A and B are shown apart, each in its own frame.
Chain A
Amino acid sequence: MTEEIPYTVQEHPVTGIYNGKLGLWLFLASEVMLFGALFSSYVLLRVGAPSWPHGWELLSVPLATLNTFILIGSSVTMVMAWASLKMDDLGKFKLYMGLTLVLSFGFLIVKGIEYGGKFSHGISPATDNFYATYFTLTGLHGLHVIGGIAVNAYLLITSGAWWKSAPAHFTNRVECAGLYWHFVDLVWIFLFPTLYLL
């Protein structure tokens, strides 16, 4: 018999929450610093530049607006996936998690169309500081979307077995994946106006 990892379901007496959630929030804190450092660099570059283009002159606002709706929608389906488990409905969980994945891929496809449009015109991160910050910030965000897809797909594929053996633990795992996914949405909520609309 292997020893069980403690406090995956029960609240830890010291923190009042299960360990995974505390771990995830600490991870998100480090993520805030990662994106914060890049954001801060962006402000420094932009304020110090003799001239800086408006995002809407060079980038597609309609595509980015579409992606904002897609990502907000995926946050709703993600929280609904968790709520479905709380209501003991694995079928609905699978539906909402599947929708979340579809929307996530939709986001990447739209982003790919945007990137493709730039590359086909010979525009790359090396073009200038504007594009360097644009590709760095959206690229890092895109990597986070891919990471979220990997975790969410894993949770969806293994959901049947998890639900049978440890439903409460599984529900908490989905909650943690959700916290991460909402953070990715939150970052985009700030990236969108900063890069495209200012």
Chain B
Amino acid sequence: MADHSADDIRKHVRVYMAVFAALAVLTVVTVAVSYLHIESVAVTVAIALFIASIKGGLVAAYFMHLISEERIIYWVLILTVFFFLVLMVVPILTDTLS
């Protein structure tokens, strides 16, 4: 994040509090959904990972300032995401090939 005036930071603080509230609500939602004990494993996993991704996105975007970062960090992260996806595809391939 580039240089910010104290006024800018005060605005940020309000955003941080809103993100905190959103994270707390989403945590409650995650736990509440798990108590429903949905039959389908695929649906349960999809819902859990979907909510976790929103929460993770909020943390990365606002607490880690990714929403207003320099381009080089985005490039580092694009590479990281690519290799992370490779890691995630490995178990699927192993499962289908065996």
Contacts and interface: CB of A to CB of B under 8 A. Distances in A.
Interface of A: 15-17, 21-22, 25-26, 29, 32-33, 36-37, 39-41, 43-44, 47-48, 56, 61, 65, 68-69, 72-73, 75-76, 78-80, 83, 86-88, 175, 178-179, 182-183, 185-186, 189-190, 192-194, 196-198
Contacts of A83: 9, 12-13, 16
Nearest to A56: B34
B60 A182 contact: yes
A37 B64 contact: no
Contacts of A68: 27
Contact of B31 (A33, A65, A190): A65
B6 A88 contact: yes
Interface residues of B, number: 47
A41 to B, nearest CB: 8
B71 A16 contact: yes
A41 B79 CA distance: 21
Contacts of A72: 20, 23-24, 27
A186 B9 contact: no
A190 B56 contact: yes
Given A179-B64, A186-B56, A48 B77 contact: no
Given A29-B77, A198-B44, A15 B9 contact: no
A183 B56 CA distance: 9
A182 B59 contact: yes
A182 B64 contact: yes
Given A69-B24, A88-B6, A182-B63, A40 B55 contact: no
Given A56-B34, A197-B31, A37 B87 contact: yes
A154 B21 CA distance: 29
Given A22-B76, A197-B34, 17 more contacts: A15-B72, A25-B73, A26-B76, A29-B77, A33-B83, A39-B88, A61-B31, A65-B27, A72-B23, A80-B16, A83-B9, A182-B60, A182-B63, A182-B64, A189-B56, A192-B52, A196-B34
B39 interface: no
